Amino acid sequence: MSKLLEQSCSQLDSLRQTVPLVHHITNYVTVNDCANITLAVGASPIMADDDGECAQITALAQSLVLNMGTLNRRTISSMLLSGQAANEKGIPVVFDPVGAGASSLRNNTAGQILQQVHVNVLRGNLSEIRFLAGLSANTKGVDAAQEDAAEGLAPAIQMAKKLAKAKSCVVAITGATDILTDGERTLCIQNGHPMLSKVTGTGCMCSSLVGSFCGAGPDLLLGAIGGVLTMGVAGEIAYERAGSLGTGSFRVALMDAVSTMTPQMLLEHAKTYEV
Amino acid sequence: MSKLLEQSCSQLDSLRQTVPLVHHITNYVTVNDCANITLAVGASPIMADDDGECAQITALAQSLVLNMGTLNRRTISSMLLSGQAANEKGIPVVFDPVGAGASSLRNNTAGQILQQVHVNVLRGNLSEIRFLAGLSANTKGVDAAQEDAAEGLAPAIQMAKKLAKAKSCVVAITGATDILTDGERTLCIQNGHPMLSKVTGTGCMCSSLVGSFCGAGPDLLLGAIGGVLTMGVAGEIAYERAGSLGTGSFRVALMDAVSTMTPQMLLEHAKTYEV
Amino acid sequence: MSKLLEQSCSQLDSLRQTVPLVHHITNYVTVNDCANITLAVGASPIMADDDGECAQITALAQSLVLNMGTLNRRTISSMLLSGQAANEKGIPVVFDPVGAGASSLRNNTAGQILQQVHVNVLRGNLSEIRFLAGLSANTKGVDAAQEDAAEGLAPAIQMAKKLAKAKSCVVAITGATDILTDGERTLCIQNGHPMLSKVTGTGCMCSSLVGSFCGAGPDLLLGAIGGVLTMGVAGEIAYERAGSLGTGSFRVALMDAVSTMTPQMLLEHAKTYEV
Q: What is the mean pLDDT of each run of 10 residues along chain A (275 residues)?
A: 91 97 97 98 97 97 97 94 98 97 94 96 96 70 64 92 97 97 97 98 98 97 98 98 98 98 98 95
Contact B195/C at CB under 8 A: no
Q: How far apart are CA A76 and CA A53, in angstroms?
A: 14
C-alpha distances out from residue C144 to B96, C71, C107, C140, C252, Å:
40, 18, 16, 7, 24
Pairing of strands B178-181, A121-124: unpaired
Contact C159/B at CB under 8 A: no
Which residues on chain B are in Cβ contact (under 8 Å) with A252?
A: 252
Query: Is B100 in contact with B134 (CB distance < 8 Å)?
Result: no
pLDDT score for B225: 98
Q: Chain B neighbours among A 68-87 (CB < 8 Å)?
A: 69-74
Residue type, A148: D
Task: Find, in chain B, the residue whose alpha carbon is nearest to that of A141.
Answer: B46
H or E stretch at B242: helix B220-242
Min distance B204 CA to chain C CA atoms (Å): 12
pLDDT score for A247: 98
pLDDT score for A40: 98
pLDDT score for B2: 86
Taking only the tens place, the pLDDT of each residue in B188-197 is: 999 999 999 9
Query: Is A199 in contact with A254 (CB distance < 8 Å)?
Result: yes
Angle at B36 between CA B34 and CA B38, to 5 degrees: 70
Cβ distance A201 to B35 less than 8 Å, yes or no, reads: yes
Q: What is the C-alpha R_g of chain C?
A: 17
> Residue B52 gets which letter from DSSP?
T
Contact A107/C at CB under 8 A: no
Min distance C233 CA to chain B CA atoms (Å): 15
Query: Is B55 in contact with B82 (CB distance < 8 Å)?
Result: yes
Q: How far apart are CA B35 and CA C233, in angstroms?
A: 32
Q: What is the mean pLDDT of each run of 10 residues along chain C (275 residues)?
A: 91 97 97 98 97 97 97 94 98 97 94 97 96 71 64 92 97 97 97 98 98 97 98 98 98 98 98 95
Mean pLDDT of B223-250: 98
Taking only the tens place, the pLDDT of each residue in C140-191 is: 566 666 666 667 899 999 999 999 999 999 999 999 999 999 999 999 999 9
pLDDT score for C94: 98
Q: How far apart are CA C159 and CA C92, in angstroms?
A: 22
Residue B107, pLDDT > 60, answer: yes
ipTM: 0.94
pLDDT score for B139: 56
Strand (E) positions, chain B? 21-25, 44-47, 63-67, 93-96, 121-124, 170-173, 178-181, 186-189, 272-274
Alpha helices by DSSP H, listed for chain A, are 3-18, 31-41, 54-58, 73-89, 104-116, 126-132, 146-149, 153-167, 202-214, 220-242, 247-259, 263-269
Task: Find, in chain C, the residue whose alpha carbon is nearest to that of A252.
Answer: C248
Q: How far apart are CA B226 and CA B234, in angstroms?
A: 12
3-class SS of residue C66: strand
Task: Find, in chain C, the residue whose alpha carbon is nearest to that of B252.
Answer: C252
Helical packing angle, C104-116 and C73-89, nearest 10°? 20
Contact A28/C at CB under 8 A: yes
What burial class does residue C181 get, using C-beta atoms within 10 Å of its C-beta: 0-12 exposed, 13-18 middle, 19+ buried?
buried
3-class SS of residue B184: coil
Query: Is B230 in contact with B5 (CB distance < 8 Å)?
Result: no
C-alpha distances out from residue B83 to B49, B60, B67, B92, B135, Å:
12, 13, 12, 9, 25
Contact A247/B at CB under 8 A: yes
